Structure 1
Amino acid sequence: MRDFIAALPREGRWLLATVAIQLLGRGMTLPFTIIYLHEVRGFDLGVAGSLMGLIAIVGLIVTGPGGSLIDRYGARPVILGGLVCAIAGDVMLAFATTPVLAGAALCLLGIQAGVSWPAANALVATVVEGDLRQRYYGVNFALINLGIGVGGVIGGLFVDVARPETFTFAFLANAVTFTAPALVLLGPLRHVHGRAARPAADEPHAGASYASILRRPEVVWLVVIGVLLSTLGYGQIESGFPAYARQISEVSTRVVGFAFVANTAVIVLAQFWVMNRVSGRRRTRVLIATAVIWAVAWVVFGATGLMPGSIAAVVGVVAFQGLFFALGETLMQTAFPSLTNDMAPDHLRGRYNAINSASFQTGAIIGPVMAGFLLEHGRSTLFIAAMVVGCVGIAAGALRLERRITPAVNGLRTPLTQEPARQ
């Protein structure tokens, strides 16, 4: 860790310093927002669930325009705009007594969610280069999980439906944590705009639109892989996984909660080990490794349904989240953002990261719908089979992508990139 931090430029260290702080507040509220809306504010569960869906819907809508704004004005002002929306949304949500006010607050949070990922990745790509960039994305992912995990523990110990004011304080605390990155961007990093110079009009991709970018075969395969990764991964974490674990594997909610804790712990502890192992290797092969590990994970998880309520089911559920799935996540988050940003021309990083973000948000919408439909209709075996087949699709897509990108984009070191590392 010391070597990594020492190798980062000053701007990279400042950006990394705020990650865990920002996500600490998010972890305090994210698992409990629907409980707050339903049990504290008294909204019907269906209304509360629909309001929660606004975050993903609005996020998907604003991702495209956000990418264009990043390329035109730079990543820094877009991030700042998103942080202002997040602060306003959390303050509004803390005092929202009607569905309309809560919906408006969640829409503001959706705006921040939609622009923050592409803008942050694009900003990092302008200040961190080469193999160090890939390592940065891995460390960033570990810190995100650390912040959310610690925040979730704090929130679980603090918030209480019998004391509504605890939820108000939690949302206000979340708003305060968003000020940390804002102050860094307005202070030490006020000179970093995150905007690349536009090339001459006659150069390739000088004025590329989303339509022209999406006509590139390598981008199409990147989108396919992103949708599958999200559908089988994050799209199931808060839907298919807990539903199958409770209804089919018949484990307790405590076991489900412990599995999430184990997932966070493995990601935080294993990230550096994973980064060292994949550095200089083909990123597409890293994604294939992710697919293989996740396929094994889903098979193990599916087998817990054959022995419901048993110790073996408990072990299988925890192993799914805490070992197999977490290890696959560390591989994916080390390779996929770097692949996207090395593929993108400098002046189009906003759009490329927006496409990346939109593919993951699409999967996050498809995943819960698919899981809910299959499990509600008693198709648990088909659900597991669909997950395994999807993993095969990730591996196949990664192989197709590998044929269409250069070795440098795929993360292979050349003599020119190796030499500075030895100095």
Structure 2
Amino acid sequence: MIPHLSRSAWTVLGGDALSAIGSGLTLPFFVVYLHRVRGLDVEVAALALATVAVVGLAGNLIGGSLADRFGARDALMFGLVLNAAGTGAMTLVHAPWQAFAAAATLGLGASIAWPAQDALLATVSTPDQRSSVFSVRHMTLNAGFGIGALVAALIVDVDSPGTFVALYLLDAATFLAFIPILMTVKAGNRPQLSHETSTPGLSAGYRRILTDWTFVRIWLLTALLVAAGFSQMHAMFPVFALGPGGIGEDALSVAFAANTFTVVAAQLFVLRWMQGRRRTTGMVLTCGFWGAAWGMTLLAGMIGGGPLAVATLVGALVVFAIGETVLTPTLLPMVNDLVPDALRGRYNGVYTLAWTTGFMLGPAVAGVALGAGHATAFLLGLIGGLALAAGAAWRVSAHVPPGANRIGASEPAAAPSPDPVQVTTTTAGEVV
């Protein structure tokens, strides 16, 4: 059941899980901390949170370029330092400008670290292991966030600012603790960049990515899935559940806990079941699971409260979690199987922009629709959008080589495999 991964992959995953616990300590309380503890207007606190995503638009591309130029491991460490600095700066916030500065630093660090870590995990894994390594990462992230949130619930007190300061300092410490762990990972030889891929700015390297039509199709599909799926779990679902769904905050917390627990419990079982299957099939199945989850959410609104509505909404996030576990071994591993080593960081940076775009567009549209009282129509629109995404995933399969569209063959659990051989390619394409 335990995937057969390299020691370096397990090392990166272990450090990532540690930092996820730290993030779980603070993420649920960002707006609450700035508003109720530091006394900022709720609008200012919300804009500070939005700043994290806006900065990510530039940070994703910077992180991808840094990974190609200096190596994914070093780019990740740089992102972690910025993450720690921004998180630590949150303890010093007493004015709006300080909140925006801390949020911008935090957002820049996170957006640099994200594509760099994806590139690093792809580099320290063989193609057959990539679906497994990203599945394990999704599982450990959810476990880390859940553990952190539980610990924070035991510590935090809105009447005691010191408890929040302690949480943010602990969060910053976990980012810094990840760095010495990364230093034990062999960086390997960085692929040499040709002149056209190392040109500054919107270089030939980025132009090549934008004209890679298979990648562009996957990018658009990802943005649609994030906008109609992941982002709505945090934007639409809580508002609908507490409003038309007729449930209380305690029941909503149970629903989100059920989602996290399902991901942690089911991810490796789903990964094993998907071995040898096409990745595009997994994408289509995810659209089906998520469409069913939003259909159950709509049904709960028709019920309008009571134990049955609670059970339906909890079940909706459980079904959504199954869709998550099916999607994880598909999109990101497929991208990394298709990209050239010399541009792996930039490809991951541009790909991460699809997630950033989806997380920006999804909540914005949800806010307008729900604010105008069109919740039912919006949910039906989400289901229709997921049906469109399923068709797009099916069509993408015609443009993806069979090797990149297949989840690696099942391997027996064993001791960690040796690290994949790192190769350096010259500008002439020779392997050194």
TM class, shorter-length: over 0.9
Q: Which residue of 1 aligns with 2:122?
A: 125
Instruction: State the distance in 2 between where 1:199 and 1:393 align.
Output: 39
Q: Which residue of 2 aligns with 1:263?
A: 259
* 1:128 counterpart SS class: coil
Say which is worse superposed, 31-40 or 233-242, in terms of deviation: 233-242
Q: Is the 8 A contact 1:87 1:175 kept in 2?
A: yes
2:69 aligned to which of 68, 72, 77? 72
2:361 aligned to which of 342, 362, 366? 366
Instruction: State the distance in 2 between where 1:169 and 1:25 align.
Output: 11
Q: Which residue of 2 aligns with 1:299?
A: 295
Instruction: State the distance in 1 between where 2:163 and 2:299 align.
Output: 40
Instruction: State the distance in 2 between where 1:42 and 1:244 align.
Output: 28
TM-score between the two structures when normalised by the length of structure 2: 0.91
Q: Is the 8 A contact 1:242 1:256 kept in 2?
A: yes
Instruction: State the distance in 1 between where 2:75 and 2:142 align.
Output: 23
Q: Which residue of 1 aligns with 2:430?
A: none
Q: Which residue of 2 aligns with 1:328?
A: 323
RMSD over aligned Cα atoms:
2.1
Q: Quote the sequence identity (%).
A: 35
Shift of residue 21, structure 1, vs aligned partner: 1.1
Shift of residue 211, structure 1, vs aligned partner: 2.7
Q: Which amino acid aligns with 1:152?
A: A
Q: Which residue of 2 aligns with 1:272?
A: 268
Question: Structure 1, residues 55-107: CA drift from partner, whole Å, max 9, x if none?
Answer: 10001222112212211221112111111111111111012111111111111
Shift of residue 20, structure 1, vs aligned partner: 1.7
Q: Is the 8 A contact 1:221 1:400 kept in 2?
A: no
Shift of residue 199, structure 1, vs aligned partner: 6.2
- 1:81 lines up with 2:78 in the alignment: yes
Instruction: State the distance in 2 between where 1:386 and 1:195 align.
Output: 45
Structure 1 segments unaligned to the other structure (5+ residues): none
Instruction: State the distance in 2 between where 1:315 and 1:131 align.
Output: 39
Shift of residue 344, structure 1, vs aligned partner: 0.8
Shift of residue 294, structure 1, vs aligned partner: 0.7
Question: Structure 1, residues 111-167: CA drift from partner, whole Å, max 9, x if none?
Answer: 122112211110011111122221111011100000001101111221111111000
Q: Which residue of 1 aligns with 2:341?
A: 346
* 1:281 counterpart SS class: coil
Instruction: State the distance in 1 between where 2:410 and 2:252 align.
Output: 44
Matches within 5 A, 1:155-174: 155-174=152-171
Structure 2 segments unaligned to the other structure (5+ residues): 198-202, 418-432
Q: Which amino acid aligns with 2:268?
A: F
* 1:97 counterpart SS class: coil
Shift of residue 208, structure 1, vs aligned partner: 4.4
1:309 aligned to which of 305, 310, 329? 305
- Describe the shift of the 1:50–1:119 C-alpha distance in structure 2 as closer, same or farther (beyond 3 A): same
Q: Which residue of 1 aligns with 2:425?
A: none
Q: Which residue of 2 aligns with 1:224?
A: 220
Q: Is the 8 A contact 1:76 1:194 kept in 2?
A: no
Q: Which amino acid aligns with 1:32?
A: F
TM-score between the two structures when normalised by the length of structure 1: 0.93
Say which is worse superposed, 403-412 or 39-48, in terms of deviation: 403-412
Q: Which amino acid aligns with 2:326?
A: L
- Describe the shift of the 1:133–1:194 C-alpha distance in structure 2 as closer, same or farther (beyond 3 A): farther
Q: Which residue of 2 aligns with 1:150?
A: 147
